[in-house]
Structure 1
Amino acid sequence: MFTVNMKTPPFNSHPQFREGLPKLPVPPLQQTCEHYLAALTPIVDPEELNHTRKLLEEFQKPGGVGERLQKGLEQRAKKMENWLSDWWLQTAYLDYRMPVVVHSSPGVVLPRMEFSDRQGQMRYAAKLIAGVLDFKSMIDNETLPVEYLGAKPLCMNQYYKVLSSCRIPGTKRDTVVNYTLDKRPPTHITVVHNFQFFVLDVYNSDATPLTVDQIYIQLEKIWNSSLQTNKEPIGILTSNHRNSWGKAYNNLIKDKTNKESVRAIQKSIFTVCLDAPIPRVSDDMYRTRAGVQMLHGGGSRWNSGNRWFDKTLQFIIGEDGTCGLIYEHAPAEGPPIVVTSYLYRKKSEMVRTPMVPLRMPQKLRFHITPEIKKDIEEAKQNMNIMVHDLDMKVSVFSHFGKDFPKSQKMSPDAFIQMALQLAYYRIYKRCCPTYESASLRMFRLGRTDTIRSTTIDSDKFVKAMDDPNTEKVALLDKAVKAHRAYTDMAIRGQAIDRHLLGLKLQAIEDLAALPEIFMDTSYAVVLHFNLSTSQVPAKTNCVMCFGPVVPDGYGVCYNPMDTHINFAVSAFNSCQDTNAARLAQALEDALLDIKTLLEQTPKANKAWSRQSSEGEQLLII
């Protein structure tokens, strides 16, 4: 899933292992200010850039505010395991008040399964559950292989946060709970079918996990106990605006039965959603329909109530063979994707085991008062608005995969990012701030930083691409090299975005006046990511999808396979200027045009860039 090396650990992969990793550095102030100006150059006008340059000169003066904040950050870095991780969790996730659905939680579409009935659905679900329990045992026994980037081990901390965890809504700020280290850690999962939640104990009395056929029998019981479809979709409450859900949550758990039911969901190891089939579409439209199914469930008429969106990890299995997962982003980035690689290792046959009486799965009860009913209706309406507003296109670019850029000695990721820059420029005749995720897992408790794909060199390339009188290949090569250089900076903790955020939060923590650079128009512009992108490479033929991060933006995720590339492009219908299918088509055209350009240019004239593949391996949402 991560394209990193997996090795049997010479030391265990428990969180204690992270003590051997370096701490996240605080980049030099002058370096960040220089790179910040460079990042602004292609996206703001010269007058605004000049104004920002003067503010930065003032900010960097010896003994000035920048130096004071930098020293404060450096002191914080000495005292803490990771100077950024707590701040990032709060500002990026727990303080964020938009719904987690579409706006935060990514979905993953797995290859379509060969079944279209409830028996097939439950057989697959049973094998999947057993596969995740195998993965859990590796975590519990501390035998999960440590991942390496070259010879450098990566922080495994996030793996200990994805199971038995859940987000808890608040009226102003959320929290995350994890029950893994409880004296009596959870031994159950939650299964939801027809909007009804069940506790399914997945371990026998001797602490061995249930076999695949035992799980299947229990799922049959759940199915037969949840045939009524007129139940209130209590789960849809979790899709609402966080402040609204926080108020509804406080009201919901006033009732003792409701509180116990909610706690059972929150404490469960993970959730399995057995979805009803949704209307059939053409094969061409299937991937897109599956993408929105993973992201939001299709609306209140379909499967959006068949979720608990605050749960960190939810596996979704449709009766029609549509499968995937959605994960709440606060605790972790990539591990849920890695989990899926273990699911395919289960043997496909159902092995019969001696019949042991199994306790009936417990149906979770909810008392629905008129006030809770009103909250559910509001959440339904808001969900349906989100569903209608999301514009999604999931497609397979089948002309070539990462094999072609590799044959040209180019980074596949940089190649795709330059095609994205070209596609956007051709539509809008301008460059825009572009976010690409880079992992900081080389450092203790590392999360992510931003690769800024829009550079001075990418700007020159995209403007030259449709001009017949320019040396396009040299400009492409320079742009690809610039992207590679910034990627390497980012994964080594030297990018600008988290450093600037840290300086701003340090000023707030010091109760000092906010420096002018953070109130400058340029700072608002540089953080308005019209393109929010992520490469999520996987061994399975899957694709991740997520929503745009700004109202007039796009979310673009891609999985480069050897001979094709899976793309998911999202936008909002409420913005007249964006269109997911149009960008997807422009991206396909750009990829083909760049390939043609390279093939038409004699190799002797190409300034080939032989690049390290290290950075490539740590690009993940």
Structure 2
Amino acid sequence: MATGALLSFSRFRRGSAARLPPVFAGLQRSYSQDSQYLHRSLVPTMHYQKSLPRLPIPKLEDTIRRYLTAQKPLLDDDQFRKTEQLAINFENGIGRELHGQLVAQDKQNKHTSYISGPWFDMYLGARESVVLNFNPFMVFNPDPKAEYNHQLTRATNMTVSALRFLKTLRAGILEPEIFHLNPSKSDTQAFKKFIRFVPSSLSWFGAYMVNAYPLDMSQYFRLFNSTRLPKLNKDELFTNENERHLLVLRNGNFYVFDVIDRDGNIVKPSEIQAHLKWILSDNSPIPAHPLACLTSENRNTWATLRQNLLDSGNEEALGKVDSAIFCLCLDDFPLEDLNHLSHTMLHGDGINRWYDKSFNLILAQDGTAAIHFEHSWGDGVAVLRFQNEVFKDSTQSPAITPQSQPAPVDSATAVQKLNFTLNNALKKGIAKAKQNFDATVKTLTLKTFQFERGGKEALKKQKLSPDAVAQLAFQMAFLQQYGQTVPTYESCSTAAFKHGRTETIRPASIYTKACSEAFVRRSSKHSAAELRQMIAECSKYHNQLTKEAAMGQGFDRHLYGLLCLAESSGTPLPGFYQDQAYAQINYNILSTSTLSSIAVNMGGFGPVVPDGFGVAYGVHDNWIGCNVSAYPSRNVEEFLQCVHKSLEDIFNVLEGKQVSN
């Protein structure tokens, strides 16, 4: 495949604290008890969980102030006055009552966060297909040792590393997830030896004293043996930690075999290799009615068809799919370029993915690997940590080498091929699902882009936030292309709090609007120094918004929590929520997200509205990368040209040059 420059981004703003060494020795570990685990943490995995701080509910007046500030660049004066009045009435009336109820409810549920329940309900209650609408993907970097990127070798090594992660997590010896502000003090053996004896109820405070912030790990158990089950009106999350088998999809055919033995040990890597080799050599054609397509359907349609499947004698086979440790997808075609890679990992052909599994580990024919994950159960922090660890372990301590021979085992007996009984209604449902899927993905454009003039290093020298500059470029680009400033979403993890999920950063501000107009419209001539000052103001304000969001002090989740309470009361919705401006700010034309990791090559997701852009991006040391998606109502290629022009203009100003026309 064409690799080009490597991109690194996803739907989430905060990356994992795990640090991976830049050089990989590629030493094969001996198959011993130690090879069952990634590592043995001195500090128990969930040591900090009990004492994590609770997600704060912002003051209502702060939320309303932040909301109105975010509305300012999106509304004209008359619209803003109307929205401002509705917001003031809400704050002084029904909003105060709802806020009081939310605070009281939160006090009665100290084991969780005020947003956790509503957020699960929001995801599980959505009836749209999970494909394109919710599930993102992240591509692994290639193994630094080229010969290890062979499909069978890499699939075996990544499967074993994933199982080591599972065993390390369940044994409670996976290193806790911590954001270290001062690693020289907090990420040391001495500190770990001390903190493990501090009671769990106080451990967070011990970490805080040395500028370390443990992150919520409550989602991690859903990584394995988990599936989202379609149900009418609201889906359910299912997990069965007792099962020991792996699900493998190839050409739309389903295979299962045990990867954990009866004693709880990982099956010998040479046996896993043998079983995967057998699956790769199976000549079974694509089924006439590929069942996996159903997981791409509208959730109510899929729920009805699933019940039909169960009633038709498929309960045992479906149970194997739902309870499998994870789904390994082996693809049989070469990847052509980065755009083809994005399409393959974001949606594929609908036949060789089980989109409802907590994650699919996808291995292309050339050994390119990616994680495609279902979003309701958790966020990027857990998935990225898993991806980092699997990459590190499979490259530093691979279970097999390219020279390893598969074990002489009878794979035809050990591997079970799942067969499903399909009646006419199911066959018709599968055909319709495939038809819908093909029609939808055909309309999606995905394009990658690299700006190689500069990145993080140059921007930090200028004392500017790299993320703020990227976001400013998107605002400038959209204004240049469409002449508007539109609602923009950037996701920020609130995993520093117990059961935190995400908060929204609102990058479209009065500062980015003024700066964008100064660059794009050029109505009044600004000097390079004045433009430089405007960029600095954008950066400063974006930093403030980011810190507020990470500390649970945005406005989006608070207002959503109050909305859920208002809806459950059965009374008419407050005028504040009926305001067109509220609907508009939640209709995110620009949905953006970023992360950086040495394990991740690139990532992406679909637009969240039909006429929106999905912008996955990464600001690297010396370049900036984007992977942008859109449906036909938006022109991706033109948008990326405008992003390039915007970044050129910004860098010209920072270097004291004239802005190009």
**When the two structures are superposed, what TM-score results if normalisation uses the length of structure 1?**
0.89
Cα distance in 2 for partners of 1:229, 1:272 equals 17
Name 2:543's counterpart in structure 1: 484
**Helix, strand or coil for the counterpart of 1:337?**
helix
- 1:340 shift after superposition: 2.1
**What is the Cα deviation at residue 253 of structure 1?**
1.3
Q: Is 1:349 matched with 2:401?
A: yes
Shift of 1:506: 1.4
Match of 1:195 among 233, 252, 276: 252
- The reply on whether 1:526 has 2:556 as its aligned counterpart is no
Instruction: Determine if the alignment matches structure 1 residue 76 to structure 2 residue 123.
Output: no
**d(CA) in 2 for partners of 1:397, 1:530:** 23
Give the counterpart of 2:472 among 418, 422, 426.
418
Counterparts of 1:569 and 1:263, CA distance in 2: 37
- Look up the match of 1:500: 559
Quickly say closer, same or farther: Cα 1:3–1:94, change in 2 above 3 A.
closer
Alpha-carbon spacing, 1:3–1:117, altered in 2? closer, same or farther (3 Å): closer
SS in 1 for 2:626: strand
Cα-to-partner distance string for 1:361-416 (whole Å, 9 max, x where unaligned): 11111012111110011011001111111111023333333222122222211121
- Match for 2:232 among 171, 175, 178? 171
1:490-511 CA-partner distances (Å, limit 9, x unpaired): 0111100001111111112333
DSSP-derived class of the 2:178 partner: strand
Aligned partners of 2:149, 2:506: CA distance in 1, in Å?
Answer: 47
The equivalent residue for 1:612 is none
Deviation, 1:115, is 12
How many Å apart are 1:109 and its aligned residue? 2.6
Secondary structure at the aligned position of 1:144 is classed as: coil
Specify the alignment match of 1:138 in structure 2: 168
Which residue is 2:494 aligned to? 440
Report 1:255-294 matches (<5 A). Answer: 255-256=312-313, 258-277=314-333, 281=336, 286-294=337-345
C-alpha separation between the residues in 2 aligned to 1:331 and 1:535?
Answer: 20
Give CA deviations for 1:491-532 in whole Å, capped at 9, x if unaligned: 111100001111111112333331110000110111110000
Partner of 1:553: 612
Q: Contact 1:25 / 1:77 at 8 angstroms: preserved in 2?
A: no
* Structure 1: distance between partners of 2:17 and 2:429: 47
> C-alpha distance in 1, partners of 2:16/2:464?
19
Shift of 1:218: 0.7
- The 1-side partners of 2:423 and 2:443 are apart by 30
Alignment of 1:83-482 (within 5 A): 83-91=114-122, 93-111=123-141, 120-149=150-179, 150=181, 151-180=212-241, 185-256=242-313, 258-277=314-333, 281=336, 286-297=337-348, 299=349, 304-334=350-380, 335-344=382-391, 345-346=393-394, 347=398, 349=401, 351=404, 360-466=414-520, 467=522, 468-469=525-526, 471-482=530-541
Compare 2-11 and 586-595 and name the one that shifted more. Answer: 2-11
Deviation at 1:114, TM superposition (A): 10
Residues 216-257 of structure 1 deviation map (CA, whole Å, 9 limit, x = unaligned): 10112223445333442110111011121111111111122x
Contact 1:188 1:203 (C-alpha < 8 Å) held by counterparts: yes
Change (3 A) 1:52 1:412: same
Separation in structure 2 between the aligned mates of residue 220 and residue 353 of structure 1, nearest angstrom? 8
Deviations 1:82-127 (A, max 9, x none): 1110111111x11111111111100123346799999932221111
For 1:585, give the aligned amino acid: Q
Q: What secondary structure, in the 3-state scheme, does the structure 2 residue paired with 1:550 have?
A: coil
Q: Is the 8 A contact 1:133 1:209 kept in 2?
A: yes
Q: 1:193–1:274: 8 Å Cα contact kept in structure 2?
A: yes
**Does the 8 Å contact 1:161/1:331 carry over to 2?**
yes
User: CA deviation digits over 1:251-310, x for unaligned, max 9?
Assistant: 111122x121111111011100111205x64xxxx111100101111x3xxxx2011110
| CA drift at 1:148 | 2.3
Preserved CA contact (<8 Å) 1:99 1:240 = yes
- CA offset digits 1:19-55 (Å, max 9, x no partner): 2011111100111111111111101121111011111
For 2:639 and 2:596, locate their aligned partners in 1 and report how far apart those are by CA, in whole Å. 21
Deviations 1:467-496 (A, max 9, x none): 232511111111111111011010111100
Does the alignment pair 1:579 with 2:635? Answer: yes
Which residue does 2:17 correspond to in 1? Answer: 5
> Any idea what SS the aligned residue of 2:306 has?
helix
Could you tell me how far apart the structure 2 residues matched to 1:583 and 1:209 are? 48
Conservation of the 8 A alpha-carbon contact between 1:194 and 1:226: no
Where 2:565 maps in the other structure, the secondary structure is helix
Question: RCO higher in 1 or 2 (8 Å CA, sep ≥ 6)?
Answer: 2
Give the distance between the partners of 1:242 and 1:86, measured in 2 at CA.
20
**Secondary structure of residue in 2 paired with 1:418:** helix
2:58 to 7, 22, 27: 27
Larger CA deviation: 467-476 vs 354-363: 354-363
Structure 2 gaps, min length 5: 1-7, 9-13, 20-39, 182-211
Give the deviation of 1:586 after TM superposition: 1.6
Is the contact between residue 18 and residue 385 of structure 2 (CA under 8 Å) also seen in structure 1? no
Cα 1:487–1:114 change in 2 (3 A) is closer
Map of 1:45-56 to 2, 5 A cutoff? 45-56=76-87
Whole-angstrom CA distance in 2 between matches of 1:526 and 1:538:
31
CA contact (8 A) 1:187 1:201 kept: yes
Tell me what 1:605 maps to: none
3-state SS of the aligned residue for 1:543? strand
Instruction: List per-residue Cα deviations over 1:569-606 (Å, max 9, x = no partner).
Output: 00002x2xx1112212221221222111101179xxxx
Secondary structure of the 1:435 match is: strand
Shift of 1:433: 0.6
Aligned counterpart, 1:600: 656
> Contact between 2:141 and 2:598, CA under 8 Å: does it hold in 1?
no
Is the alpha carbon distance of 1:110 and 1:394 closer, same or farther for their aligned partners in structure 2, counting shifts above 3 Å?
farther
Deviations 1:538-584 (A, max 9, x none): 113511110001111000011333233332100002x2xx1112212
> 2:11 maps to which residue?
none
TM-score, scaled relative to structure 2: 0.84
Give the 3-state SS of the residue equivalent to 1:157 in structure 2: coil
1: CA distance, partners of 2:15 / 2:285:
44
Change over 3 Å in CA distance of 1:12–1:112 after alignment to 2: closer
Asked if structure 2 preserves the Cα contact closer than 8 Å seen for 1:94 and 1:174, the reply is yes
- Give the direction of change, closer, same or farther, for the CA distance of 1:117–1:222 in structure 2 (3 Å limit): farther
Query: What are the superposed Cα offsets for residues 129-162 of structure 1, whole Å, 9 maximum, x if unpaired?
Result: 0111111122111122222233221111122221
Residue 615 (structure 1) aligns with: none
